[in-house]
Structure 1
Amino acid sequence: MERYPIAQRVKVIQAYYENGCSNQNAYRALRDFFGQFNRPNVRTIGKMMQKFEQTGSVGDVKTPVHARTARTAENIAGVRDSVVEEPSTSTRRRAQQLHLSRSSLMNIILKDLHLHAYKVQLTQELKPLDHFKRRQCSEWWQEMATVHDQFSKKIIFSGEVHFHLSGFVNKQNCRIWADDNPRVIAEKPMHSQRVTVWCGLWTGGIIGPYFFQNEAGQAVTVISVRYREMITNFLWPELEDMDVDDMWFQQDGATCHTANETMALLREKFDGRIISRCGDVNCPPRSCDLTPLDFFLWGYLKEKEYVDKPATIQELKNEIIRHVNGIEPQLCLSVIENCDLRMEVCRRSRGEHLPDILFHM
């Protein structure tokens, strides 16, 4: 009824009483005043009359505003001081300390102080010399990108990771609602079965996966000999149809990767173009935020593969293969472009962590 001004509402009331207190008759009588299509319908006329008879007024009924008993100036100031002094205290604990209900505290925080809850971002600790190495690598990266605008698209990023069959149970986010405690226990083996997977990532897609395993299909430790077997028997055949004359190869500084025989094998195809400890360009340690497999691929796969809860090692492998094959080259290109951005941010921050990446992406 708010779209009808007071004068029009008065006309409706008059028409109602002048036409035998009938909603239908009033509707007909109002045609000349409102026009055929602008007059209130029979139901609206009935609501107007009901409200008029209950309140004696054709105006809008104002909802009473309840006095704020908890959101007083004193309590707002107290919450503000508490947050400034201890910003990480939980709302439940803070409400107890200030003798407020949790709902009142939340109203003050959100509606009066306009504060937001931010998650703590976890990242790997950097050692004193790491900042220099990260800055040095990012500056070299920028120089190469200046000379060759497609430089980052000519790098094969590689690495391996473990995938455990049991996955994990986050009990902090797991609740079971019931009348009685069901006493549910999630059993996990002390030594969970796992697979060890190697992959390569470049703008053309994903190379792999390759599983480090014995003849029985069980995961084995990645040592230099096995790593070289992977390169010879798997990586080289995968690269046969690729033009690797100007391609770079990146790997972390694990001992199995940087053994003399391994580096000599890699130089057969990537001579002068190896990004690694003991390579042509040093790969900075503890820099998961700068390597695409660490900041993208492994997390992406772990988020996907446990959805269907694989029950056997073979099912786990099948899930890994399925999701790796489902990654389109366009996604890999976006990841590489993001890596360029990360290198630029690392250079600007002089080797520090990447706050622009962690908190704004």
Structure 2
Amino acid sequence: MFRTKYGKKPPDVKFIKSWMKILETVNVEKGKSSGRLSVSDGTVENIPTAFTRSPRKSVKQASRRLQMPKSTVHKVLQNCMKLHAYKVQIVHQLMPDDRPKREQFANDILNSIDEDNDFLLRVCFSDKATFHVSGTVNKHNVRIWGSENPHVVREHIGYSLKTNVWCTRD
């Protein structure tokens, strides 16, 4: 009769008993939720202290030190303290003998353009990444937390052991 009505074999007796046990023991009604956990006042007070001492500290470092989730630290910084993460601009440190070298390079390019109008069409502009043996910090991860942009510029000394990698496309 089951097969003719539903077009398949009836369920096994073990399956029916297991299903009945689940229906008797499991409560499927929605219970009262405890809601989102609130951030205690003590927690909120610890975070500003950590960042006033070291505004260059990352959210990850602070969360590890304060033993709280990164999301909590981030929310307190943005919502309670009204701080924002500002990116540090890293510039190459210029030396006294850099200017004549740069001028010579610019003059060489201008002379090449004068000699051949299509010179720049054969130049392939690309992107470059520098990998330092010392493990210099990735500039994309350096942030300063503050209520205003500090316009911080950090000079980078370009004399550590490193290799450059270029990526180009025709």
TM tier, shorter chain? 0.3 to 0.5
Q: Which has the higher contact order (CA 8 A, sep 6+)?
A: 2
TM-score under structure 2 length normalisation: 0.39
TM-score under structure 1 length normalisation: 0.20
Larger Rg: 1
Bigger proportion of residues as strand: 2
Bigger proportion of residues as helix: 1
